[in-house]
């Protein structure tokens, strides 16, 4: 009997097994997809939203996938603008480091080659800063201080917590909330609080705009990189992007290291 039960559990088609993982998040993302692109609608050919990531269920998986898309879109938008800024010769007005009083050593380089020419100490600062932001945004204590949840636990995908660590509590003699001695004057998201007076409908519209712009930026930055690595790969960018002979994905290679 146990053997028969085990055999039945293996050969039974998934449709006959009640799906306890299916939650409202998947239905919400289908509605969101239609709002983002009424023509294409929900399109998930790899079935990523049903991966049951880490065994956490569909709601957590959808939250993870949505958060990842928004994050990648934001990085791509910054990269897209940064690529254009460099290719047009616009420079930061201050020295990159004490050993680089100006940016003459970057002249004539393609945007990816600038990373190769950046001092190791500067690279380390960038990596540590981004690492701090990642840890901060994933920490339960920090999110709860903002009254939010983790995106895999029903929180808002794409939400980045403030650096305030809770509202000030003057009654307890602690005017800085959770006791942060020197709070950061600007938060990463909306540092000038420009969205404070917007209606809920307008904020929802801007969230859709952000996702769509992020998707376009991901395509755009890959077009830049492709044009730099393979001349003629993107006809519209021929002779508009400097050639790059290096390995674009080198920072993500297992053997990648910083030389000091």
**16: annotated binding-site residue?**
no
Q: What Cα–Cα distance (Å) separates residue 48 from each residue in 51, 64, 155, 256?
A: 5, 10, 19, 29
- Is 215 annotated as belonging to a binding site? yes
182 is in an annotated binding site: no
Contacts of residue 184, defined as CB under 8 A and 6 or more positions apart, other chains included, come to 163
Alpha carbon of 68 to those of 62, 96, 144: distances in Å?
10, 30, 20
- 97 forms beta bridges with 100
74 assigned to a ligand binding site: yes
How far apart are alpha carbons 89 and 11 in whole angstroms?
63
Residue 69 marked as a ligand binder = yes
Annotated binding-site residue? 7: no
Q: Is 176 annotated for ligand binding?
A: yes
Q: Is 243 within any annotated ligand binding site?
A: yes
29 sits in which H/E element? helix 24-36
Residues contributing to the annotated binding site? 69, 72, 74, 176, 210, 213, 215, 243
* Binding-site annotation, residues for chlorophyll b: 74, 176
Annotated binding-site members for chlorophyll a: 69, 72, 210, 213, 215, 243
């Amino acid at each position: 009997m146990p053997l028969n039960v085990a055999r039945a559990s293996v050969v039974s088609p998934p449709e006959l097994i009640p799906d306890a993982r299916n939650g409202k998040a998947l239905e919400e993302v289908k509605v969101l997809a239609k709002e983002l692109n009424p023509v294409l609608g929900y399109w998930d050919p790899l079935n990523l939203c049903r991966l049951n990531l880490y065994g956490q269920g569909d709601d957590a998986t959808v939250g993870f996938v949505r958060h990842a898309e928004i994050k990648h879109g934001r990085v791509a938008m910054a990269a897209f603008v940064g690529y254009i800024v460099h290719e047009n010769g616009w420079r930061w007005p201050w020295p990159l480091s004490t050993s680089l009083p100006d940016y003459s050593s970057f002249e004539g380089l393609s945007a990816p080659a600038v990373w190769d020419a950046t001092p190791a100490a500067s690279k380390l600062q960038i990596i540590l800063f981004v690492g701090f932001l990642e840890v901060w945004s994933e920490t339960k204590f920090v999110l709860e201080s903002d009254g939010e949840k983790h995106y895999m636990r029903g929180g808002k995908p794409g939400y980045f917590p403030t650096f305030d660590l809770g509202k000030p509590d003057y009654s307890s003699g602690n005017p800085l909330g959770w006791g942060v001695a020197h709070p950061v004057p600007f938060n990463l998201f909306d540092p000038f609080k420009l969205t404070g007076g917007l209606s809920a409908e307008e904020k929802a519209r801007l969230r859709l705009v952000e996702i769509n712009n992020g998707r376009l930026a991901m395509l755009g930055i890959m077009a830049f990189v492709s044009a730099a690595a393979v001349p003629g790969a993107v006809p519209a960018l021929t002779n508009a992007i400097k050639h790059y002979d290096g390995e674009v994905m080198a920072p993500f290679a297992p053997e990648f290291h910083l030389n000091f």
